[in-house]
């Protein structure tokens, strides 16, 4: 969907751009020391290995090996089983003959003694509860809330023309608190699904966009930590500089020139003020069918809005960002490595753009430092992640999110990086096996434990950047201990995560009954017949949403015509 609209709007530019960008890419690397020949060879090898990988998965070359591996595991588990009182019964007696295979003994997790089967069952049950079903009414409510947010942003644009006229937002399912983007959770008020909201989204709103460059984007990283950058407005035209001057910190050079650095905190100040103003305006003349604004709160640079629509409460975490087409020079080397997505999606899809988020490093200057974000690429990469691993990731996230996120240490974003690394490390044939969710879950916990103990968690796109650099030894040890208690009894922790998910759903249902949602069944029903196109759009979205439960939606919207947003729905990633 999105792509179609995108092409429709940007067709000539897009083609021209991606072509040129590739050329540039080569030039850049070659100048960086590696010869042109070496680049080409590397590229060719990569293709070949991707082809080999495809071949392997086609003929399941690894399957016998893996089966052998499983057999071994089963064999090793057998003595442990027979020594566990009470667990016997179904298991055949293990003879002293150690070479004898015991085909019927259930596979166990060495550390906890839990049956792998049971873990798989629990993960599946958890996924079932997490995957919220969208009925028609819910779909309409989502649509109404989304429309409201987009009209609101259109009004913010009109207010002072600071926002780009034709803008492109990225809407992700899951809030910032769920680790959808790499931002610190410590600064956010805690909200809980069920108690405070029913559905959560993150919306990245480009305050500035640099979409007309055809080269690897070189950022000013002289003053900032790795993976972070300052942004000088020198890259932009005079008009843009004048518009945004008041959201910049000013640095005077010795030669008399003045440099404006786009400030994340000042931009967030401005954004929050503008949004509050617009919302106050809207609430002055309430209309039927328009969502209730239940909360507007700003923590650090994130603006959280809770909307009540019919029987649902939607949490929108709105984040002002800077949007770039292309790929940053600092992440160029990542493109030269082999990756799990090779041959599955195109490079153009993966490196179509990146963002600067209003977040700084532990040592950086809050007023000037932005953080690189590859959210757009992550949405693409997710298409290549196996269902088993994805389920395991969601379950693992639920196990650790409360345990490890406070005091500030591990966020779900760390876990997601580990998952991406695992995809690169392990063959797809292994990760994609049915009933492998338990292995993936235990593996992710082990990976995380390793990260804590060694205090390293390399960013997936910029591996030189250690996302746990700031962690103190004490904090790392504290969290490692908590995590090892999870690892010792994953089943029990999963059961309580399931209970938690169940309770949240119950709360939502109760609130809907109490709220008498029966009469809010269609928030759009009171729009007149003159709104025919909107209705068609609503139907289309409704269809999209019901066909794709729990997925991310990418949106293109032109604030000059906020009535017609264009969107694409992706698998829920976060
Ligand atoms: C162990 O098993 C092997 C074959 O699997 C058999 O030849 C051997 O006699 C067995 N030894 C004992 C002590 O049962
Ligand atoms: C977040 O902001 C709200 C007001 O907007 C404030 O009441 C709350 O204490 C803040 N939370 C944190 C964790 O700073
Ligand atoms: C442990 O951390 C150091 C740097 O902190 C890193 O160089 C090393 O590769 C890490 N070890 C492993 C096994 O990841
Ligand atoms: C709900 O609305 C319908 C009409 O759409 C009306 O007939 C019904 O009485 C209303 N129920 C309540 C509880 O207000």
Distance CA 121, CA 438 (A): 9
The burial class, CB within 10 Å (0-12 / 13-18 / 19+), for 274 is buried
Q: Hey, whose CA ends up nearest to atom 9 of ligand 1?
A: 97
Q: What angle do CA 130, 133, 169 make, to 5 degrees?
A: 85
The pLDDT of residue 523 is 43
Provide CB contacts within 8 A for 2, sequence distance 6+.
554, 555, 556, 566, 567, 568
Pocket test for ligand 1, best of 99, 101, 102, 103 (most atoms within 8 A of CB): 99
Residue 235's DSSP bridge partners are none
Cβ count within 10 A of residue 310 = 23
The pLDDT of residue 562 is 52
Ligand nearest to the CA of 513: 4
- Pairing state of beta strands 566-570 and 228-229? unpaired
The pLDDT of residue 505 is 84
Distance CA 174, CA 389 (A): 18
Residue 192: both structure tokens together: 């809980």
Q: Which atom of ligand 1 is found nearest the CA of 95? A: 14
Q: Which atom of ligand 2 is found nearest the CA of 186? A: 13
Whether residue 298 has its Cβ less than 6 Å from ligand 2: yes
CB contact at 8 A, 447 and 404: no
- pLDDT (tens, 9 = 90+) of the chain, 574 residues, equals 332 223 222 323 333 333 333 323 332 333 333 333 344 444 445 544 444 444 444 433 333 433 444 433 333 333 333 344 444 444 455 555 656 565 678 899 999 999 999 999 999 999 998 876 666 777 788 888 988 999 899 999 999 999 988 888 898 888 998 888 999 877 888 898 888 998 999 999 999 988 876 677 788 888 888 999 999 998 888 899 999 999 999 988 777 788 899 999 999 999 999 999 999 999 888 787 789 999 999 999 999 999 999 888 999 999 999 999 889 999 999 999 999 999 999 988 898 899 999 999 988 999 999 999 999 999 889 889 999 999 999 999 999 887 876 677 788 899 999 999 999 999 999 999 988 999 999 999 999 999 999 999 999 999 999 999 989 999 999 999 999 999 999 999 999 999 988 888 888 888 776 654 444 444 444 433 344 445 555 566 566 656 655 455 555 545 455 555 555 555 444 3
Whether residue 101 has its Cβ less than 6 Å from ligand 1: no
Q: In the structure, which protein residues have their CB atom closer than 6 angstroms to any atom of ligand 4?
A: 516, 518-519
Q: Hey, whose CA ends up nearest to atom 6 of ligand 3?
A: 456
Ligand nearest to the CA of 521: 4
Pocket test for ligand 2, best of 176, 177, 189, 405 (most atoms within 8 A of CB): 189
Q: Hey, whose CA ends up nearest to atom 13 of ligand 3?
A: 454
The pLDDT of residue 25 is 30
Q: Which atom of ligand 2 is found nearest the CA of 187? A: 13
């Amino acid at each position: 969907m999105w792509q179609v609209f995108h092409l429709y709007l940007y067709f000539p530019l897009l083609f021209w751009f991606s072509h040129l960008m590739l050329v540039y890419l080569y030039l850049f690397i070659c100048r960086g020391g590696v010869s042109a020949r070496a680049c080409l060879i590397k590229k060719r090898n990569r293709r070949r290995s991707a082809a080999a990988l495809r071949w392997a998965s086609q003929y399941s070359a690894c399957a016998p090996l893996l089966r052998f591996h499983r057999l071994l595991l089963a064999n090793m588990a057998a003595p442990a089983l027979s020594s566990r009182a009470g667990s016997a019964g179904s298991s055949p007696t293990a003879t002293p003959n150690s070479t004898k295979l015991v085909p019927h003994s259930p596979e166990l997790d060495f550390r906890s003694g839990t049956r792998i089967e049971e873990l798989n069952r629990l993960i599946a049950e958890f996924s079932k509860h997490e995957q919220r079903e969208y009925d028609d009414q819910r779909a309409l409510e989502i649509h109404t809330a989304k429309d409201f947010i987009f009209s609101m942003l259109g009004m913010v644009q009109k207010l002072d023309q600071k926002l780009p006229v034709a803008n492109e937002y990225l809407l992700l399912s899951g809030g910032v608190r769920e680790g959808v983007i790499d931002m610190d959770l410590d600064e956010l008020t805690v909200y809980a699904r069920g108690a405070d909201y029913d559905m959560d989204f993150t919306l990245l709103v480009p305050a500035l966009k640099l979409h007309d460059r055809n080269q690897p984007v070189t950022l000013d990283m002289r003053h900032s930590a790795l993976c972070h950058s300052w942004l000088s407005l020198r890259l932009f035209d005079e008009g843009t500089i004048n518009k945004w001057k008041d959201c910049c910190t000013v640095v005077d050079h010795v030669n008399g020139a003045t440099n404006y650095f786009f400030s994340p905190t000042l931009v967030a100040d401005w954004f929050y003020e503008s949004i509050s103003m617009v919302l106050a305006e809207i609430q002055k003349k309430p209309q039927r069918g328009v969502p209730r604004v239940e909360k507007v709160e700003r923590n650090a640079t994130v603006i959280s809005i809770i909307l009540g629509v019919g029987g649902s409460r939607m949490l929108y975490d709105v984040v002002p960002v800077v949007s770039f087409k292309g790929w940053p020079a600092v992440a160029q080397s990542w493109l030269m490595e082999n990756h799990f997505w090779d041959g599955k999606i195109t490079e153009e899809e993966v490196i179509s753009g990146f963002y600067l988020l209003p977040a700084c490093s532990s040592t950086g200057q809050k007023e000037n430092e932005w953080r690189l974000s590859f959210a757009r690429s992550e949405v693409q990469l997710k298409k290549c992640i196996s269902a088993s691993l994805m389920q395991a990731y969601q379950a693992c996230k639920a196990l650790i999110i409360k345990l490890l996120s406070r005091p500030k240490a591990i966020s779900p974003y760390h876990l997601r990086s580990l998952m991406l690394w695992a995809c690169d490390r392990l063959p797809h044939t292994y990760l994609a096996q049915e009933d492998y969710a338990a292995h993936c879950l235990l593996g992710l916990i082990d990976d995380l434990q390793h990260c804590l103990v060694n205090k390293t968690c390399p960013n997936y796109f910029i591996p030189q950047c250690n996302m746990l650099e700031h962690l103190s030894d004490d904090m790392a040890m504290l969290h490692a201990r908590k995590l090892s208690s999870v690892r010792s009894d994953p089943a029990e922790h999963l059961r309580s995560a399931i209970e938690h998910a169940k309770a949240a759903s119950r709360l939502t249902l109760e609130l809907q009954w109490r709220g008498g949602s029966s009469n809010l069944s269609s928030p759009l029903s009171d729009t007149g017949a003159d709104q025919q196109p909107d209705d068609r759009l609503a139907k289309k979205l409704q269809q999209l949403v019901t066909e794709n439960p729990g997925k991310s939606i990418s949106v293109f919207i032109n604030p000059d015509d906020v009535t017609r947003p264009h969107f694409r729905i992706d698998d829920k990633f976060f």
